Structure 1
């Protein structure tokens, strides 16, 4: 897990654990380890190293020491140090082991990539993740057993020379409270060790203690240690491993062949093929006759009606040289690949690993156009096919949307296709610059995938990937709570949630909150981690302070959703504590961050500046008290799209949910270069990472976080959203604005929901619900509407927040008329 760990005291997170009486119990700040977690590990792709019944797959290479199985645990006893080791060696992996130290003097650890030689001393040697029960508290440190001794931290007399250069720095690091206190001295402790090539990372109870490069060993055995204290019993459980790299696309993505929609001769030597839309892929073509070479050009962008060979930003171009006449039949021609998109162990403090595609597919990039240069006149270009990668389970008929505004219809189609086209990796990635999942990107992608498709397993896979490969921005961590909550609301699967609930506690930002419930941001947070919006120039002049409005809006929303999730998995005490903590933070948020005179929120404590972000995030998250909703909404309605494509999801949600739907549609359809209409008019077939290259010069043109209308239009214009987990209860709340009609199909866990409405002289709504679902209707006011009928019979209603709310829920198929 890529926490904000950096070698050096200046970049270390400080643990803010001193809460006052309003503080939540410790269980809210740290995960509580369960007993047997076999089902949970299996669901996340791990394999057991220990079957819970016997020591199959393990052996003791020493003549001393005893290992036995007790109640599903491995117990080690001895009067001299020994290691129990696996019979199989491992190379790249993520390993998880729980350790319980005995009382009194004790020391243990986890060997990994270690070596065994029963005829030598030491018998077992190599890397070890330290479990230190002494007052020294170096648990989680990296030790080289039987060779170079302490690597991180290092110390004079017990480290070789190359590691002493960071002695002071590493000792200071382990003296910091978060690291020093990571070990639970009297309970169970979870060690997670990740090895990828020469990169080694160690986590102890969710705190990353080591991230270090060392090339001494590339593979070896796994081992667990008894330090040799006579009469002491060391206990181990939940021993699981996941071999890396994991390639999700191999199981979940299919490669399909596509014909070109147009073939055009550009010159005597060049023929251009157009596949209609961009997709991630390569080509298959007949082996050309003749002698010599030819060139295949792959392009995502045209310039002067030719493939742009020097495109801006991360817009893709590639050229592959092929040799004619060397084979018979067909061959796959891959484009050249950017090394960054396959990097598994990059810079020390840069990004987590890229998501790989199966090597047997050969490299793929996003492209629409193909130009072949230097083939003979006799070559049949109509036989060329693009091999494009899409989710195996994609169902084009699962969703639909159509309304009276043709531009809005085209935006829907653009955004829906963007979601399909970016399923190529089997989990959500950030386009083709890095092919890495980011939490905020993934959440927006998830919302749109749910609205476009009916068999969505990719969101849950991406969640698990990100829990092990998290990224650096502050607000990205609460997005993990949002992702889990959205998956639970879609599926109603509390068992899936139960296996992941405890780990989510590290994502709420509770460790940075104070006595008033609000999150603090130190200098490093303000300069790097607090993101507000991306790219930086899209922040509407946001002023960063120690207590800022955007970070705290995310924090409170995460606490509220965690309360719901706790209740769903039967953690009633946690649910109450999260709710109480959220209530405390809400009160402080309103008291300290709202500008009463201006009627809007400031960016933070210590500034009078009010950005658009400091207002639409609280509005979208339901944090604005009813008395102030009108003033915040009125202010937001005076603004343009003064935020990024990412933040626009929340800006539009804030407007749609609070009576500003007309403004939201106006912004989506706006002229100029800051709207989805602009993307459409520019000719793209997949949404962009930013509104335009001038706002993010290194942007890519295949970014699913830019596809927000794929979820905004079904959720708000059709008005269909779940109220309870699993879609048992649904809210239908159409936003008409100036539209005359809208209709579509919205997928749900219970089946498709068909909605059609017209809004002219009267408002009429037709709905078909799946079996077992009921709907709560909130309808638009229709002038001086005086009567509402369902299937021709008058029903009772009430006016609430400017809408007509039906008193009773409806089921099955029905037609509602307001006139």
Structure 2
């Protein structure tokens, strides 16, 4: 296989070099670098409905649309709207919209053609130019300004702008905007001879336009806050402009309205601090607010919410993004109960923040009132006889969370407490209905969401939140380089968990924009320009957790993510019948892997350097490719040995991959030692610090603005079930599983791992022999891979030998198993 891959790689590289960098990419590259929209409109229609969009066109007739012009013809034809005429005209909706995400597919005719999507536009039936306002340009000319922002019948070109065709206010960015549209990825975003998906997002004064997954406009303009949707015929006689799959999603969407709920919780302790203040402790931090009987009296009381104590009191000036807030409460004058909302942080509700900063925050339901993370409240100014025991915290969690879905227990009590901390961290951060970054911006980030997702799978048994978050991020992506390939990882993980190829098929094409192929060269490796090296390439976060990583044009970490994304795309393409795509992805990945090792492996040191042009070897440049299986067999042992000497010189985010690499390569003892290490760079430190939700960083001194409620810090929630208990899916949908316990120095472990087919029950002891009891749900088979104890001769069921093959220091049972089995290595 290695020889075949090498031949494929050589063929691909030679072919690409023969074309030359100045020429267009070959057709095979186009196949996997751009979305290819299905010729069957019903496929796209079903996909958009599945993603929560409302159709503006029913595919059958023009209900909801009208032509304000006396000329032009519009008709519904086989799921498409066809516009024909010999003068310019627009077909518009009969309903205006304010904040929304709009999706329209456009097919331009051959020859001279120009069209576009009107949004927030206006209609004046008495005017010559009856339709005016914002337009997302569809430019069929050699100018290639498709996706540009045009102001029809008013200010004309906004972005890009050009003298003579733009008003003065937009000419200040004429050069910048034209250079932007000259970039190959933007210039070539339009498929001139096929279908193109236009997506327009309007939130307050922020306008964003994408063409086939490529962002072409992000601009602020407050001229129009509301208006109609329209589609254009440019007036070329005999030309037919085709439109299909016209969908709209009104914003904001509030996932918590359907997918999260409030749970009433009693205080664990009530303590009178002094003659004015009573403190209530709810035991753990949760996102919520409180409900309390209306206190008697006149005037105002105060309710203080806190996530941290200082000298026995709520810290009213906490560090970083640790939360504190105070809400006034009116005494008397009402009967019944007050809902006391938590204090609103403006960033948590921002829908159109800084233009190049963050996408919209995920809102919580208005009916809840505002929520924040807190463990303690202090009530100030209420009579000591007040019934404090009747106060309840209204804590928000996933509406389907099941505390009994998973379990873990082992011989190390500290590890058990770490499991409890991390499992609860996943539960507590489901409050918004999609995964968010704790409480700083309350937005999903791709890497955060992926780590959250794989831990949600191992702790709960109803995990629709993962697919929902994927769809959210495809519409509201963030900026780091490696975060884009994490979208491929999220789709792959969902497919492996659910086995749902229909879900995958509906989202597959859009993933092509997430592999970083547009930044790769003829050798298959991704290049990083100056802005990428200074801002977009993350490696790890915060910056001081990078183990001294040296950024170069070709860096090891970004390329490791790129290659892993290509390989996962190949598997998914095969699964949905896109075999030509799959072969192209496989060839591209093989070529990139050959270049990766040849270019980035330091033969003298026996490990990978950070990038071309440096001899620095960070642990990140080695554990990422090791975790992804990118290292040739002959070099694996050296990299593993080198990493086994390293400390936790990375953040909790990157530690997920570091631990994965160690567990997967028979270094469970080292991985567990790092998880349990003394000092301030381990999950033991989080535990000892008294937190009840995992942190964003190991300590405030490593990230002064860190959240104390961050799910990407909860990696043991998936590491312990996947590696210590050893349960992982072998094929999509858990049709088969791999059971590969990694005991390290532990003497026993037992637990329950949820899957889409039901729970797997595992219990093992690790003494003179290794004894495994396994119960699989109906319909699942498993490959069993067991550690070889000292001087072991084989695997037994009771006294009966079981056919098994020794591979290194492990025994692999030859036949797959089902139901309940017990094996002993002795």
Please indicate the TM-score interval, normalised by the length of the shorter structure.
over 0.9
Q: Which is further off, 33-42 or 169-178?
A: 169-178
Instruction: Please give the alpha-carbon distance, in whole angstroms, between the structure 2 residues aligned to 1:504 and 1:361.
Output: 35
The residue that corresponds to 1:516 in the other structure is 523
1:196-345 pair list within 5 angstroms: 196-345=203-352
Deviations 1:566-592 (A, max 9, x none): 001100111111111111111111111
1:404 and 2:408 matched: no
The residue that corresponds to 2:35 in the other structure is 31
Shift of 1:134: 2.3
Instruction: Please give the alpha-carbon distance, in whole angstroms, between the structure 1 residues aligned to 2:208 and 2:533.
Output: 26
SS of equivalent to 1:134: coil
SS of equivalent to 1:25: helix
Instruction: Please give the alpha-carbon distance, in whole angstroms, between the structure 2 residues aligned to 1:813 and 1:383.
Output: 48
Provide structure 2 residue ranges, at least 5 long, that are not aligned to the other structure. 1-19
The residue that corresponds to 1:13 in the other structure is none
Counterpart pick for 2:771 among 760, 764, 774:
764
Deviations 1:366-387 (A, max 9, x none): 0000000000123110111000
Contact 2:59 2:76 in 1 (8 A): yes
- CA, structure 1 residues 706+144, in 2 after alignment: closer, same or farther (shift >3 Å)? same
Contact 2:794 2:811 in 1 (8 A): no
1:779 and 2:783 matched: no
Shift of 1:791: 5.0
1:143 and 2:150 matched: yes
SS of equivalent to 2:241: strand
- CA, structure 1 residues 20+811, in 2 after alignment: closer, same or farther (shift >3 Å)? farther
Instruction: Please give the alpha-carbon distance, in whole angstroms, between the structure 2 residues aligned to 1:556 and 1:396.
Output: 37
1:472-551 pair list within 5 angstroms: 472-551=479-558
Deviations 1:724-758 (A, max 9, x none): 00111111111111111000000011110000000
Counterpart pick for 1:94 among 95, 101, 126:
101
Contact 1:22 1:515 in 2 (8 A): no
Instruction: Please give the alpha-carbon distance, in whole angstroms, between the structure 2 residues aligned to 1:136 and 1:18.
Output: 19
1:614 and 2:617 matched: no
Contact 1:23 1:581 in 2 (8 A): no
The residue that corresponds to 2:363 in the other structure is 356
Instruction: Please give the alpha-carbon distance, in whole angstroms, between the structure 2 residues aligned to 1:86 and 1:314.
Output: 45
Q: Which is further off, 167-176 or 230-239?
A: 167-176
Instruction: Please give the alpha-carbon distance, in whole angstroms, between the structure 2 residues aligned to 1:758 and 1:548.
Output: 43
Shift of 1:18: 6.2
Shift of 1:19: 8.2
The residue that corresponds to 1:6 in the other structure is none
Instruction: Please give the alpha-carbon distance, in whole angstroms, between the structure 2 residues aligned to 1:534 and 1:227.
Output: 49
Shift of 1:23: 8.7
1:447 and 2:454 matched: yes
The residue that corresponds to 1:46 in the other structure is 53
Contact 1:788 1:818 in 2 (8 A): yes
Instruction: Please give the alpha-carbon distance, in whole angstroms, between the structure 1 residues aligned to 2:68 and 2:427.
Output: 53
Contact 1:403 1:742 in 2 (8 A): yes
Contact 1:791 1:814 in 2 (8 A): no
Counterpart pick for 1:788 among 773, 785, 795:
795
Deviations 1:319-346 (A, max 9, x none): 0111111211101001111100111100
Contact 1:601 1:610 in 2 (8 A): yes
Q: Which is further off, 323-332 or 273-282?
A: 323-332
Shift of 1:158: 2.2
Shift of 1:172: 2.2
Deviations 1:685-709 (A, max 9, x none): 0000000000000001000000000
Note the aligned Cα RMSD (angstroms): 1.3
- CA, structure 1 residues 697+19, in 2 after alignment: closer, same or farther (shift >3 Å)? farther
Shift of 1:628: 1.3
Shift of 1:119: 2.1
The residue that corresponds to 1:380 in the other structure is 387
Shift of 1:183: 2.0
SS of equivalent to 2:173: helix
Instruction: Please give the alpha-carbon distance, in whole angstroms, between the structure 2 residues aligned to 1:336 and 1:524.
Output: 37
Instruction: Please give the alpha-carbon distance, in whole angstroms, between the structure 1 residues aligned to 2:669 and 2:526.
Output: 34
Contact 2:214 2:513 in 1 (8 A): no
1:800 and 2:807 matched: yes
Shift of 1:108: 1.1
1:395 and 2:399 matched: no
Counterpart pick for 2:120 among 113, 118, 121:
113
1:601 and 2:608 matched: yes
Counterpart pick for 2:110 among 103, 110, 128:
103
Instruction: Please give the alpha-carbon distance, in whole angstroms, between the structure 2 residues aligned to 1:22 and 1:616.
Output: 33
Shift of 1:713: 0.2
Contact 2:278 2:379 in 1 (8 A): yes
Counterpart pick for 1:633 among 637, 640, 643:
640
Instruction: Please give the alpha-carbon distance, in whole angstroms, between the structure 2 residues aligned to 1:228 and 1:594.
Output: 59
Deviations 1:437-484 (A, max 9, x none): 000000000010000001100010110111111111111111111000
- CA, structure 1 residues 17+359, in 2 after alignment: closer, same or farther (shift >3 Å)? farther
Instruction: Please give the alpha-carbon distance, in whole angstroms, between the structure 1 residues aligned to 2:712 and 2:75.
Output: 51
Shift of 1:793: 2.5
Counterpart pick for 1:84 among 91, 101, 104:
91
1:705 and 2:712 matched: yes
Q: Which is further off, 708-717 or 800-809?
A: 800-809
- CA, structure 1 residues 384+179, in 2 after alignment: closer, same or farther (shift >3 Å)? same
1:150-189 pair list within 5 angstroms: 150-189=157-196
Counterpart pick for 1:192 among 196, 199, 207:
199
1:747 and 2:757 matched: no
Instruction: Please give the alpha-carbon distance, in whole angstroms, between the structure 1 residues aligned to 2:69 and 2:85.
Output: 11
Deviations 1:512-543 (A, max 9, x none): 11111111111111111111000000000001
SS of equivalent to 1:765: strand
Shift of 1:135: 2.5
**Count of residue pairs brought into register by the alignment:** 804
Shift of 1:142: 1.1
Deviations 1:415-440 (A, max 9, x none): 00000000000000000000010000
- Superposition TM-score, scaled by structure 2 size: 0.96
Contact 2:74 2:82 in 1 (8 A): yes
SS of equivalent to 1:27: helix
The residue that corresponds to 1:3 in the other structure is none
Shift of 1:17: 7.6
Instruction: Please give the alpha-carbon distance, in whole angstroms, between the structure 1 residues aligned to 2:141 and 2:444.
Output: 39
